[in-house]
Amino acid sequence: MKADNRSPQQKFKPIKKIPEDNGSIIPTKRLSVALLGNPNVGKTSIFNALTGARQYVGNWPGVTVEKRIGIMYHNNIEFKITDLPGTYTLSATSPDEKIARDFLLYESPDIVIVISDAINLERSLYLLLQVLELRGDVILVINAIDEAKKSGIYIDKAEVEKHLGIPIVLTSAVTGEGIPELKNIMSKMKEGKVHVHYVFDHELEEEISRISSILVARRELKNYDARWLAIKILEGDAEIQKLTGIEINREFSQELAVTRYRFIKQILRDAYSRKTKTKWDLNTAIDHVITHKFLGLLIFLIIMYSVFQLTFSFGAPFSSLIEEVVEGLAGFFSSLIPVQWLSSLISDGIISGVGAVLVFVPNIFILFLALGILEESGYLPRAAFVIDRIMYAMKLSGRSFMSMILGFGCNVSSIMAARAINEPQERITTILVSPFISCSARLPVYVLIAGTFFGAKAGLVVFSLYILSIVFTVLSALFFNKLLYKGKPAPMIMELPRYRRPTVKSLLIYTWNRGKHFLEKAGTIIFAASIIIWFLSYFPSAGNVHDSYAAILGRVLEPLFRPIGFSWQIVTSLVFGIAAKEVIVSTLTMFYSTGANLDGGTLTLVNSLTPPTAFAFLIFVLLYVPCIATLVVMKNETGSLKYLIISVVYSFTLAYVMALLFSFIGGYIL
Amino acid sequence: MKNSRINVLLWLMGTLYFLLGLNTLLGFFLAEKDLMFAIMLMVNAAIYLFGLLENPENLNRRAAHLLVGSFFSFLISLFKIFILIGLWLSGIVENMCMLSIPVANILVIFSGIVASFIYAATRKLFD
- Spatial distance between the Cα atoms of A153 and A273, rounded to a whole number of angstroms: 6
Cβ contacts of residue A10 below 8 Å, gap of 6+?
none
Distance from CA of B85 to the nearest CA of A (A): 7
Q: Which one, of A118, A119, A141, lies nearest residue A128 by Cα?
A: A141
- Spatial distance between the Cα atoms of A567 and A2, rounded to a whole number of angstroms: 60
Which helix or strand (DSSP H or E) is residue B5 part of? helix B3-26
Q: Are A280 and B60 in contact (CB under 8 A)?
A: yes
The per-residue pLDDT for A281 is 84
Asked if residue B73 has pLDDT above 70, the reply is yes
Q: Which residues of chain A have pLDDT under 50?
A: 1-24, 59-60, 595-602
Residues of B in contact with A286 (CB under 8 A): 64, 67-68
Length of chain A: 670
Which residue among B35, B68, B90 sits closest to A289, beta carbon to beta carbon? B68
Q: Which one, of A79, A78, A96, lies nearest residue A87 by Cα?
A: A96
The per-residue pLDDT for A618 is 94
Q: Which one, of A313, A410, A325, A324, lies nearest residue A362 by Cα?
A: A313
Q: Which one, of A381, A471, A487, lies nearest residue A433 by Cα?
A: A471
Contact B90 A286 (CB under 8 A): no
Contact A320 B79 (CB under 8 A): no
- Spatial distance between the Cα atoms of A219 and A667, rounded to a whole number of angstroms: 76
The DSSP bridge pattern shows strands A111-117 and A138-143 to be parallel
Residues of A in contact with B40 (CB under 8 A): 302, 305-306
Residue A324 contacts B, CB cutoff 8 Å: yes
Q: Are A443 and A608 in contact (CB under 8 A)?
A: no
Q: Which one, of A621, A624, A595, A623, lies nearest residue A608 by Cα?
A: A595
DSSP state of A545: G
Cβ contacts of residue A527 below 8 Å, gap of 6+?
A350, A353, A354
Helix residue spans in A272-351 (DSSP H): 282-290, 295-336, 340-344
The per-residue pLDDT for A43 is 82
DSSP state of A114: E
Closest-CA residue of A relative to B82 is A314
- 3-state secondary structure (DSSP) of residue B87: helix
- Spatial distance between the Cα atoms of A546 and A164, rounded to a whole number of angstroms: 77
Write the ipTM.
0.95
The per-residue pLDDT for A65 is 54
DSSP annotation string for A349-406? IIIHHHHHHHTTHHHHHHHHHHHHHHHHHTHHHHHHHHHHHHHHHTT--HHHHHHHHG
- The angle that helices A295-336 and A379-393 make with each other, rounded to 10 degrees, is 110
- Spatial distance between the Cα atoms of A500 and A418, rounded to a whole number of angstroms: 25
Distance from CA of B120 to the nearest CA of A (A): 12
Asked if residue B26 has pLDDT above 50, the reply is yes
The per-residue pLDDT for B17 is 96
Contact B64 A280 (CB under 8 A): yes
The per-residue pLDDT for A54 is 64
Residue B118 dihedral angles phi and psi, to the nearest 5°: -65, -40
Cβ contacts of residue A571 below 8 Å, gap of 6+?
A554, A557, A558, A560, A561
- Spatial distance between the Cα atoms of A82 and A34, rounded to a whole number of angstroms: 5
Residues of A in contact with B86 (CB under 8 A): 310, 313-317
DSSP annotation string for A551-593? HHHHHHHHHHHTTTT--HHHHHHHHHTTT-TTHHHHHHHHHHH
Q: Which one, of A602, A306, A307, A589, lies nearest residue A449 by Cα?
A: A589
- Spatial distance between the Cα atoms of A145 and A154, rounded to a whole number of angstroms: 9
Residue A286 contacts B, CB cutoff 8 Å: yes
Residues of A in contact with B83 (CB under 8 A): 309-310, 313-314
The per-residue pLDDT for A399 is 64
Where on the phi/psi map is residue A152: left (φ > 0), alpha (ψ -120 to 50), or beta? left
Which residue among B50, B79, B86 sits closest to A306, beta carbon to beta carbon? B79
| CA dihedral sign of residues A475, A480, A481, A486 | positive
End-to-end CA distance of chain B: 13
DSSP state of A486: -
Residue of B79, B92, B94, B127 for testing the chain A interface, max A β-carbons within 10 Å: B79
DSSP annotation string for A45-94? HHHHHHH-------SSTT---S-EEEEEEETTEEEEEEEPPP-SSSS--S
